Amino acid sequence: MTREKGEVLQGTLDMLVLRALQLEPMHGWGITERIEQWSESVLQLGQGTLYPALYRLERQGLIGSEWRVTENNRRARYYSLTTKGRRHLNEELVQWRRMSRAINLVLEATLDGGRA
């Protein structure tokens, strides 16, 4: 598979999926759409990775799932965050913010140093 411009960083997929589910339960397709929309179409989920990720997260007990009927009267599996998933997401977010701030600091510091 060729590397797409918007491929999600390794390890961040889980966090993105959990984040997408933070507001309301959604089906797989909805999650794709939500992430695409929020990221202004920069992030496009490789579908080959979304469903395995969903099954993995469910196995780990971070999300739950149930079959519901959509507005268009179709059966679809809706995923929702469990309490544990919610806690996990919060931890991940804190971690991520610290990391990304640190990385930004490093990147900017390097640029400054380059000018000097």
Partner 1 sequence: MMRRVREGWRRLRSLRRRKELEIGLDEEIRFHIDSQTEKNLRAGMAPDEARRQALIKFGGVEPAKERARDQFRWAFVEDFLRDLRYGGRALRRAPGFTTVATLTLALGIGATTAMFSVVNGVLLRPLPYPEQDRLIELVHEAPGLGIARLLASPAVYFGYRDHSQTFEAVGLWDWDSSPVTVTGSGEPEAVRSLEVTHEVLTILGADPLVGRGFREADDLPGSVPTAIISYGYWQRHFGGADPLGETLVVDGIPRQVIGVLPQWFRFFDYPAEIFYPRQPVRSGAVFPSGDGRGIARLKEGVTLGEANADIARMIPILSEEFPGGNVKEWRLAPKLRWLKDTVVGDLRDTLWLLMGTIGLLLLIACANVANLVLVRTETRRPELAIRAALGAGWGGIARVVFAESAVLGLAGGFAGLSVAYVSLPLLLSLGAADLPHVMTVRIDPTVMLVTLGISVLVTLMFALIPVFHVALPKLQLAGVLRGAGRSGTEGRESHRARHLLVVFQVALALVLLSGSGLMMRTFQTLRQVDPGFRDPGNIQTFQLTIPTAAVPASERAGVPVPDRTVRMQHEILDRLAAVAAVESAGFSSSNDGLPLDGDGKSRSIFVEGRTRADGPAALKEVQFVSPHFFETLRTPLMAGRTFAWNDVDPARPVVLVSENLARAEWGSAGAALGKRIGPRETGPWSEVVGVVKDVHHNGLSQPAPETVIFPARPDDTASFVIRSERVGTSSFLEDLRRAVWSVNPNLSLASVQTLGDLYQRSMARTSMTLQLLAITGAMALLLGLIGIYGVVSYSVSQRRREIGIRLALGAAPGEVRRMFVRHALALVGIGVAIGLAAAVGLTRLMESQLFGVSPLDPLTHLAVALALLAAAGLASYLSAHGASALDPVEVLKGV
> How far apart are CB 38 and partner 1 at their closest, in Å?
17
- Residues from 57 through 96 that contact partner 1 (CB under 8 A): 59, 61, 67, 74-77
CB of 110 vs partner 1, minimal distance in Å: 34
Q: How many residues does the chain have?
A: 116
Q: Are 21 and 33 in contact (CB under 8 A)?
A: no
Element (H, E) at 51: helix 47-59
In sequence order, the 6+-apart residues with CB closer than 8 A to the CB of 116 are: none
If binding is defined by CB under 8 A, does position 6 make contact with partner 1? no
Task: For the CB of residue 41, give the shortest distance to partner 1 in the complex, in Å.
Answer: 12
Q: How many residues bind partner 1 (CB under 8 A)?
A: 22
Residues 17-56, one symbol each (x = binds partner 1 by CB under 8 A, - = not), give ----------xxx--x-------------xxxxxxx-xxx
Q: Please give the Cα distance from 83 to 63 (Å, whole number).
A: 9
Q: Is the dihedral of CA 3, 89, 63, 71 positive or negative?
A: negative
Interface positions with partner 1 (CB under 8 A): 1, 27-29, 32, 46-52, 54-56, 59, 61, 67, 74-77
